[in-house]
Amino acid sequence: MYRGRHVGYLEGLRYKGQENMLAWVLHRITGLGILILVGTHVIAAFFLNAIGDNISTTITTIYESKPMQVFVYFCVLYHALNGLRLIVEDLWPPLLRYHRELLWFQWLVFLPVFGLPAALMIVSLWSGGA
Amino acid sequence: MRSRYPNRGSGLEYYLWIFTRLSGILMLFMAAFGIVYANLAGGRTLLDMAAQYRWGFFPTYWHVQNSDIPDVFPNWSNSFWQIYAVLLFFVAAVHGFNGLRVVVEDYVHRPYLLLFAKWLVFVLFLFTLFAAAVIVFELFV
């Protein structure tokens, strides 16, 4: 409801929501990312099999490229971990006492689980892999 | 964090709020089951990491066909996995398009534009379900 508060975009960027707002923004961006990527992938696969047009082929080629796979992996892993933390906090509210610890623990899990496969994918891209 | 808490005035809104949580857990378990099955069915040596993730997302045989599996038909392509894939996709689509509706309601304020946007989301939802079912059951003519 940014319009109700009459806050401009630049002022919004300076908002001191810190790690909570980062989690909210990333949850929203990664959720929309999954929806757009998987949605276009399924619809492109449908039209590719039904008609075999050029647009579907292009979308499929983009979707199968390594940088896009890294981005999809980022979206899915962050959305899954953050969603799991949200579910745990929503369904067992006493755990909200440890909200900040849970957020840090979530980053502690996310960084290696995302970083190692992503690094391997990027290295294989540099060494001439598809 | 307005959108995190349900509007208790409307029953449907509350049930969708609960559904988002439960379907989130369900999708994690369904993906985990798919990946565990894939490894027990020989994928431990035959599938690379990316193929395992693709299979966890959407367990259809063309997601593992380009791996080292010699014949996908006994373990990877049968009606169990077809129904499983469609169920997983249906749960994910309701979860995802309901999330899109929440985002649309957060940023669209003009009543007629909001109505149009919500119908557009609903039509996209139905078309994506149709497309996924046609793909999984290979109903192309």
Q: What is the mean pLDDT of chain A?
A: 86
Q: Which long-range contacts (CB under 8 A, 24 or more apart) does B100-108 make?
A: B100/A32, B100/A35, B102/B3, B103/A28, B103/A31, B103/A32, B106/A1, B106/B2, B106/B3
Nearest to B99 among A20, A31, A45 (CB): A31
Residue B86, token pair as written in the block: 């469609």
Across the range B117-137, mean pLDDT stands at 95
Q: Is the pLDDT of residue A20 over 50?
A: yes
Q: What is the pLDDT of residue B122?
A: 96
Q: What is the pLDDT of residue A127?
A: 80
* A-chain residues near B135 (CB < 8 A): 42, 45-46, 49
Across the range A1-7, mean pLDDT stands at 58
Across the range B27-32, mean pLDDT stands at 94
Interface predicted TM-score (ipTM) over 0.90: no
Nearest to B135 among A31, A42, A76 (CB): A42
Q: What is the pLDDT of residue A50?
A: 86
Lowest mean pLDDT among A74-88, A100-114, B50-64, B78-92: B50-64
Which residue does chain B place closest to A20, by CA atoms?
A: B1
Q: What is the pLDDT of residue A12?
A: 65
Q: Is the pLDDT of residue B114 over 50?
A: yes
Confirm or reject contact between B6 and chain A (CB < 8 A).
Answer: no
Confirm or reject contact between B113 and chain A (CB < 8 A).
Answer: no
* A-chain residues near B106 (CB < 8 A): 1
Residue A80, token pair as written in the block: 């899954």
Q: What is the pLDDT of residue B111?
A: 92
Q: What is the pLDDT of residue B4?
A: 56
Contact B2, B23 (CB under 8 A): no
- What is the three-class DSSP state of B7? coil
Residue B23 pLDDT level (bands cut at 50, 70, 90): very high
Specify the pTM.
Answer: 0.86
* A-chain residues near B134 (CB < 8 A): 46, 50
* A-chain residues near B67 (CB < 8 A): none
Q: Is the pLDDT of residue B115 over 90?
A: yes
Contact B58, B76 (CB under 8 A): no
Give the type of residue at A128: G
**B141 burial type by CB count under 10 A (0-12 exposed, 13-18 middle, 19+ buried):** exposed
Residue B134 pLDDT level (bands cut at 50, 70, 90): very high
Which residue does chain A place closest to B136, by CA atoms?
A: A46
Which residue does chain B place closest to A22, by CA atoms?
A: B1
Q: How far is B90 from chain A (nearest CA, A)?
A: 12
